[in-house]
Amino acid sequence: IMADGDKKKGNLPFGADEKPIKVDKWDGSAVKNALDDVAKKILTDKDCGYGYVENFVLMDMRLLICTVSVAFALAALVYDYLRPFPDSRPVLILCVVSYFILMGVLTVYTTFKEKNVILVAHQKDQAGVDPDNIWTVSSSLRRFDDMYTLHISYEDGQSNQSREASVVKSVASWFDEEGTLLMDLFTQEVKNIHSSLLAEKKEK
Amino acid sequence: MKLISNQLQLRKTYSRFLNLLLPMTSAVMTWKVLMLISSCGTPIVVIVSGGLIHLNRGDVFFISNYTDDSINVGDTVVFKVEGRDIPIVHRVIKLHETSDGEVKLLTKGDENLVDDRGLYPPGQDWLRGEDIVGKVQGYIQYVG
């Protein structure tokens, strides 16, 4: 018999009914993606995670900037085709200037705003009254490096205080010789950070 | 249970699609910038066949088409004639200017024995302003 309420969250064995994740241990990007996806799932999954709600605004903003840029490029192409140069000059100037400004905006956005963020999730108040607490997860794994950094920050909805914690470890800590992800070990790592951030709150 | 939600999967796919497109759009837009700077529809031209002294197949030309930069005898120009898609890079050997400002040009490849009238469409003895794509400003050898 399943119990209702938040006691159920996080209690199902994580990944129990899933096939083990296996990656090419030499492929840094695959390794990072695997770890990132598990970390995200722990925070967002309703059944075996904390069930926080993923917020896509950060990613959507980047997608929007790119989409508008592509639209300007297409507009330039089409217009130049319909009314060949030099008639297309004014429209071309507009499109080109807009495009490169947007590319600049995109660079600034991904460098300073998006950075290494892989997840922004909202922890909704059970009663539905208080503002959400916001969990932000970022990670990095440099090329040809084996040190993976997992960084979680917590912003309290009511007090607007924020705390953060991170772990920096070699990816070898969580993968075996064949590249199979040791789910339990990594899950525990993530849950520890999560608990430590929540625990800090209670101390105050 | 899927590891990634549908919403995220959609965004990831779209994101990958954009990542493929963006380098291409950047290349296209850079070309448009060159067009704007040189005032010319095809600012860069590659020689396909010989015809001028010192110039060989594979040379890359930078051309411009400024309205206030008049073409003079002796200049190397790139022109197109109706019915031919490939632009031709030859030298201007004669130039007429009518009283209302219309310009007529005759071109010839340095290495050729005759002028280009054989290349012009039947009935056309002179190149008009519209046939000219641009004036050669400079070139890089053997790149194309």
Question: What secondary structure does DSSP assign to B77-121, as a single string?
Answer: EEE--TT--S-EEEEEEEEEE-TTS-EEEEEE-TT-SS-GGGTSP
Q: pLDDT tens, A129-154? A: 778 889 999 999 998 888 999 999 99
Nearest-neighbour CA in chain B from A28: distance (Å): 18
CB contact under 8 A, A66 and B39: no
Of residues A41, A47, A100, nearest to B29 (C-beta): A100
Whether the per-residue pLDDT at B13 is higher than 50: the answer is: yes
Three-state DSSP class for A197? helix
Nearest-neighbour CA in chain B from A144: distance (Å): 22
Note the maximum CA span of chain B: 82
Adjacent-strand bridge partners of B77? B90, B135
Can you give the pLDDT at residue A165?
92
Pairwise CA distance, residues B25 & B135, whole Å: 28
Read off the pLDDT of each residue in A51-61 and give the average, rounded to a whole number.
91
A93 reaches B (C-beta below 8 A): yes
Residues in A closer than 8 angstroms to B11, CB to CB, are 56, 59-60, 63
Whether the per-residue pLDDT at A10 is higher than 60: the answer is: no
ipTM for the predicted complex comes to: 0.75
Whether the per-residue pLDDT at A71 is higher than 90: the answer is: yes
Read off the pLDDT of each residue in A109-136 and give the average, rounded to a whole number.
87
Mean pLDDT of chain A: 85
Q: pLDDT tens, B49-99? A: 655 665 666 677 888 888 778 888 888 888 887 777 778 888 888 888 888
**B61: which DSSP letter?**
E
